[in-house]
Amino acid sequence: MSSEFRTIVDIGKFESNFDVGSRALLLGSCFTDNIGSKFTENRLNALVNPLGDIYNPVSIARLLNRVIEQHYCDQEELVEQNGLWHHFDFHGRFSGTNKNEVCANINRTVQECGQFLKSADFLLLTFGTSFVYERTDTSEIVTNCHKFPSDFFIRYRLEPEEIITLYKELIVSLRVFNPGLKIIFTVSPVRHWKDGAHQNQVSKAALFLAVDKLCEVFEKVWYFPAYEILMDDLRDYRFYDERMFNPSAVAVEYIWNRFVNVLFTPRAQKFLQKIEKVKKARNHRFLHPNAESQRRFAHKMLRLVDDIEQEFPEIVLSADREYFSQWL
């Protein structure tokens, strides 16, 4: 009998690792925000869901192609609903009452995303579901329904081969756009319960089959088993939030640590240990804010910030330096 009382998921090996200066673009479902927040709070160079949450593989591919081609928004692409202008390819965060502003915000983000992707080291894509919504008038799959009436769409599930075919073309385009790009796929462990337990599993299965084939066909394309870690390693409702569908903060932290242990260089792991002290210091609260002890603490942390920047020149901690300087 195993003394572990757990089934620890073997993550496997990756041929490339994140270093302190690595640039990562993260796109996909809301689980992308969970992991992406770990990158940004640790002062790493990451761009997290700049286009908003995207759940299905087709919409992720459509948006990546727009970014690669710098395909900007045209006002004729916008649709109006309840006084707001929307774009079916883009998240509701871009919607607004002014068509010019909506397109300007979209175009600025597409341009910024393209500039970042051009020199990114890693692209992390998280698929949430293989169910899609297709417009009945144009037969185009949408990223967001923007609360349009249900009869405006047809909903169906993608087959693995559809995803594979689409991403074979996309990965080739990505490699032309940025030859050094490494791609990591994940499947979101968040349960999509609208269709019931069985259909949620069938939906995820289509994603697994597609990703597995893509990792087999392409070099520098890997899969990180976030789904399996939550389902088979943690496997307990205490690792879910109150809705019982999303991973809890503890679960996200555990998945992040597994990610770091396998995908980060020893140097990057050392950086994370040092920046953790800065993060904890910023959460420190003094009973007497003007006391000499606070000023001594601020001097100590500023020395630490200087030491980190000297050891890891790829990182700029100007915001942390400004934060501690205000206590002097």
Counting other chains too, the contacts that 288-296 makes at CB distance below 8 Å and 24 or more residues apart are: 289/327, 294/327, 295/327, 295/328
Residue 4: what pLDDT? Answer: 61
Residue type, 64: L
Q: Phi and psi at residue 41, in whole multiples of 5°?
A: -70, -20
- pLDDT, tens digit, 9 for 90 and up, residues 36-56: 999 999 999 999 999 999 999
- pLDDT, tens digit, 9 for 90 and up, residues 123-168: 999 999 999 999 999 999 999 999 999 999 999 999 999 999 999 9
What mean pLDDT is reported for the chain? Answer: 93
Return d(Cα 170, Cα 275) in angstroms, integer: 36
Nearest Cα residue to 74 out of 109, 51, 106, 98? 106
Per DSSP, the three-state class of 183 is strand
pLDDT bracket for residue 246 (50, 70, 90):
confident
The residue ranges of every structural domain in the chain are: 23-264, 265-328
**Mean per-residue pLDDT, 246-260:** 92
Domain 23-264 has what CATH class? alpha beta
pTM: 0.94
